[in-house]
Amino acid sequence: MALADFLRDSVGIDEPVEAAFRQVPRHLFVPERAAPLAYSDESVVVKAGADGTPLSSSSQPTMMAIMLNQLGLERGHRVLEIGAGTGYNAALMAHIVGQTGNVVTVDIDAELTARASASLTAGGYGQVRVHCADGASGFPGHAPYDRIIATVGAWDIAPQWLEQLAPGGRIVLPLSVRGVQLSVALDRADGYLASTSAVWCGFIRMAGALAGPETILPAGPQPGMRFGTDDGRPLDPDAVYAALNGPAVVVAAELPEVTRTELGDADLWLTMVEPELLRVSVHRGGAPGQAAGPAQPFYGLAEVAKPDGRLGIAAVTLGPVDADQEQAGAVDAGPEEAGAAGSGAALLIRGYGPYGTELASYLAARAGTWHRLGRPGIASLRLRVYPPAAEVTGDLVVRRPCSTLVLGWR
């Protein structure tokens, strides 16, 4: 099958994962797509809200394959999936763990669980147990689990997941840290969870008891620009709109050229080591040809704590732009989208708003520190998860209601 060949060649998936993609018929789980198109490497939205916001999707196969690699499933494993979706991922896992294994998938949406159950039965995977439940509680009826995977974006680690995880078990989930979503594999250690890998990802956020404070707000005329902040701290929509539709001041970091991968690493490091700055994501959904605002999507850091109330937003990007150049309302996308600059280019910081020049200059100087430290990035990022009251230290300590996250670079 072409999709399995593509995943093998592009991601380097394990043999059991490759075999699952060859055998499980994706078109049965995404009837929205004609059979040939169902095997393209694209996500498929299967449910949306009244405003068009996606509520559930069948994830991009590449991301599914990466997470299944992270999960490290074996024959006979007991697996809990948070976020049933279409049921396709549960079918892949059922194929890998075999008849001696056990896959349980839960979703808070009864319509989705009914659909997933029907599709799993039609595909020959009726042994998968599908339940309508809030995934924040796990599913104790079939615990303990050797592996737990969440296919929805999480903001915290539910204590129930830890209670239901078997000794030597592993959790893989898209975890939001400072507004950056990372697919993290976490192994049980002595009193905490320790990451073994992390990759960039982007999933629909979890609903229910474990939903985080992240919100998406409109800015300016609608339909049009929408933005969100990493932790619910307020940011004036009118000020955001005015800043991002004004001139962009470009400051070049004084360091050797960087690649696209290193651009993402720089953005990640700056976000994690500057917790006083807000992580801002901006999306634009206006009518075709509408020129307001940045390209979609846009990720940056905002300074909102200045005594005079001046707002500054800055974002890292690549390009051969002179440091003094200004561009009105034209913004390169965030690091995930900035691949057109080739194998290496200058690291630029684009600043917006009244404080944009000062903020861009500050972050350009901090990028120099990132370079001197050896350009730490996602490959060397390490995350530990402790109970909420734990006394810990690290490059970044993030307190959540159910856990304490400690991030650092090895």
User: Would you say residue 229 lies in a domain?
Assistant: yes
Residue 85 shares a structural domain with residue 136: yes
- In tens, the pLDDT along 166-215 reads 999 999 999 999 989 999 999 999 889 999 999 999 898 888 888 888 77
Catalytic residue among 56, 58, 59, 119: 59
Residue 239 shares a structural domain with residue 129: no
Residue 278 shares a structural domain with residue 149: no
User: Would you say residue 195 lies in a domain?
Assistant: yes
Lowest pLDDT segment from 34-43, 50-59, 175-184: 50-59
Residue 360 shares a structural domain with residue 230: yes
Residue 13 shares a structural domain with residue 111: yes
User: Would you say residue 395 lies in a domain?
Assistant: no
User: Would you say residue 408 lies in a domain?
Assistant: no
Residue 267 shares a structural domain with residue 131: no
Cα 223–chain centre separation: 25
| CATH at residue 190 | 3.40.50.150
Cβ within 8 Å of residue 201, ≥6 positions away? 63, 67, 174, 181, 182, 183
- In tens, the pLDDT along 273-300 reads 999 999 999 887 644 334 444 445 689 9
User: Would you say residue 410 lies in a domain?
Assistant: no
Residue 57 shares a structural domain with residue 178: yes
Lowest pLDDT segment from 155-169, 229-243, 296-310, 375-389: 296-310
Residue 304: per-residue pLDDT: 77
Q: How many domains does the chain have?
A: 2
User: Would you say residue 79 lies in a domain?
Assistant: yes
User: Would you say residue 209 lies in a domain?
Assistant: no
Contact 108, 135 (CB under 8 A): yes
Residue 360 shares a structural domain with residue 261: yes
Residue 347 shares a structural domain with residue 277: yes
Contact 249, 357 (CB under 8 A): yes
Q: With bands split at pLDDT 50, 70 and 90, how would you rate the model's confidence at 262?
A: very high
Q: Which two tokens stand for residue 332?
A: 């390169």
Instruction: Give the rounded percent of residues in the chain with a pLDDT score beyond 70.
Output: 90
User: What residues make up the domain containing 64?
Assistant: 2-200
- In tens, the pLDDT along 316-342 reads 999 874 544 555 443 443 444 444 434
Residue 152: what residue type? V
Give the C-alpha distances (Å, rounded to integers) separating 343 from 90, 258, 323, 376. 38, 8, 20, 18
Q: In the annotation, is 59 catalytic?
A: yes
> Which residue do the tokens 């060397």 mark?
380
- In tens, the pLDDT along 343-385 reads 679 999 999 999 999 999 999 999 999 999 999 999 999 999 9
Q: With bands split at pLDDT 50, 70 and 90, how would you rate the model's confidence at 305?
A: low
Q: Which two tokens stand for residue 407?
A: 């991030």
Helix axes 15-23, 88-97, angle to 10 degrees: 130
Q: Which two tokens stand for residue 279?
A: 């992580």
Residue 93: per-residue pLDDT: 98
Comparing 179 with 314, which gets the higher pLDDT?
314
Helix (H, G, I), strand (E, B) or coil at 244: helix
User: Would you say residue 252 lies in a domain?
Assistant: yes
Residue 118 shares a structural domain with residue 175: yes
Residue 285: per-residue pLDDT: 61
Q: What number is the average pLDDT over the span 137-142?
A: 96
* Nearest-angstrom CA–CA distance, 272 and 276: 10
* Nearest-angstrom CA–CA distance, 136 and 211: 9
Residue 158 shares a structural domain with residue 78: yes
pTM, entire model: 0.89
Contact 110, 117 (CB under 8 A): no
Residue 86 shares a structural domain with residue 128: yes
